[in-house]
Amino acid sequence: MTTVKSVKTLQLYINGEWVDAKSGEFFDVISPATGEVIYRAANGRADDAKRAIDASYSAFPKWSKISSKERAAILFRLYQLMHENLEDLAQTISNEMGKPIKQARGEVMNAAEYVLWNAEEGKRIYGTTIKGFEENKRLQVIKQPVGPVAAITPWNFPLAMVTRKISPALASGCTLVLKPAEQTPGSAAKFFELAEKAGVPKGVINLVTGSPAEIGDAFLSDKRIRKITFTGSTRVGKLLMKKATDQVKRVSMELGGHAPFIVFEDADIDQTVSSIMKSKYFNCGQTCISPNRIYVQESVKEKFLTKLKEKVESLQIGYGLEEQVDLGPVVSQAGLEKVKSHVKDAVQKGAVLISGGDEFPVQGYENGYFYLPTILADVNEEMQIANEETFGPVAAVLTFKTEDEVIEKANNSDYGLAAYCFTKDLSRSVRVSEALEYGMVGINDTVMSQVQGPFGGIKESGLGREGGPNGLADFLETKFISTII
């Protein structure tokens, strides 16, 4: 931590103004590819969070009452600005968290789609009328915005996770304070600059970067904040939920996962391998829906491993901002250590290394957190990797004999976010998708973050859904009105 401004600095955005933290402190943001400080971000604390809550509370009465058409017009302008600034946003994402630029562009487009979807969806907030038992009674149900909301987001999709929360909040008439991850304040700051240009009125959205626990506690202890929407680890999610009980605050939790990926012997193995390449090694394995346990039916194990190895060894590793790169660094030294320890534990307990298994020194980027794309075969349930999120480019392959056996194994997890089933048998796909205890199931598909669909998990993977009509519903309260006429 320092009070000296020597590289580019990022500020807080409170009540329509860019300001330093009250303390004057900044924290360093490090590039995971170069290990260098890329900028310093304002280190907000409880008093800054309070200023932001004041602003969101003051802005709420007006914003909640303007017409849905006006709110939609502002969001539509924001969507256009995101497209006009696509390259700048993508470079910011890639620079601060390391993902390949091609994937960063995809993230910007996906993030913008949420803004567009919610702009439209906000015009369709329906209530209902119910027939009463008495002739002079009128029963009505209306939907109203929950109030000022606090949002906390992770670094792995630093823009999409932000728009998945801010756009439905704005469309439903809520105001909001955001605390983004400390690794990626730049993407959030760029988004706020565009939101300001799009005409989001002052105080409606506010940005506080800085000390996670202090800011989180300020959100949770303030009665004016009516809801917490969080995306991040299950560990932190549980902590926030416990604290939210004091004021019975509304919570939405998008937490960790440990996705089973089931490959039946009748699956199209080329298509299956290509889907693994797009999901397991996408974002360097740092996604909550990444396949973590790849269950392959015994009879196709060798064929599957041979094809996967060939594809994995053709991946280009390097600095994300270079166009040809497929796999960037993991986000931090701590992230790298976790990947190394999971691989070491698995190998010590009998897993077979098919490919990778080590750090990878990229020429010119020797201080980056690069790890070779890795395949481990003969993984079993005793290994850490079969139970905890690795958040790295490591495919852990297990085998199974029967459908019943693999369903039981797949469901044997505290997590319940995403699961995948690859098969050509239609009946089997229906049976398996209904039996899997997960919030989302991909049948011959791994692309789950789609604006029309409800994204989210069951069990310890969370509460609530983002996307589709459900995304807006999580920011609305239900009011019942009974009238005697």
Residues that bind ligand NAD (CB under 6 A): 152-157, 161, 179, 181-182, 212-213, 216, 231-233, 236, 239, 254-257, 288, 389, 417, 457, 462
3-class SS of residue 119? helix
**Active-site residue identified among 96, 288, 403, 460:** 288
Residue 284 is a catalytic residue: no
For ligand NAD, which is the closer residue by CB, 151 or 195?
A: 151
- Between CA 163 and CA 160 the distance in angstroms is 5
Q: In what order do the strands lie in the sheet with 12-14?
A: 17-19, 12-14, 205-207, 176-179, 149-152, 227-231, 250-254, 462-463
Under DSSP, the state recorded for 139 is E
**Active-site residue identified among 113, 121, 196, 254:** 254
- Between CA 94 and CA 102 the distance in angstroms is 9
Residue 282's identity, in one-letter code, is F
- Residues 6+ away with beta carbon under 8 Å from 204: 56, 59, 63, 170, 175, 176
β-pair partners for 41: 10, 27
For ligand NAD, which is the closer residue by CB, 288 or 397?
A: 288
Residue 254 is a catalytic residue: yes
Pairing of strands 227-231, 205-207: unpaired
For ligand NAD, which is the closer residue by CB, 201 or 212?
A: 212
For ligand NAD, which is the closer residue by CB, 30 or 198?
A: 30
For ligand NAD, which is the closer residue by CB, 297 or 461?
A: 461
- Between CA 261 and CA 267 the distance in angstroms is 12
Write the DSSP string, 413-438.
SSEESEEEEE-S-HHHHHHHHHHS-S
CB of 53 to ligand NAD, least distance (A): 15
3-class SS of residue 349? coil
Enumerate helices (H) and strands (E) in the chain, giving the number of each: 14, 23
Give the number of other CB atoms < 10 A from CB of residue 47: 12
Write the DSSP string, 47-114.
HHHHHHHHHHHHHHHHHHHS-HHHHHHHHHHHHHHHHHTHHHHHHHHHHHH---HHHHHHHHHHHHHH
For ligand NAD, which is the closer residue by CB, 159 or 236?
A: 236
Residue 309 has which token pair? 């190895």
CB of 418 to ligand NAD, least distance (A): 9
Supply the residues annotated as catalytic.
Answer: 254, 288
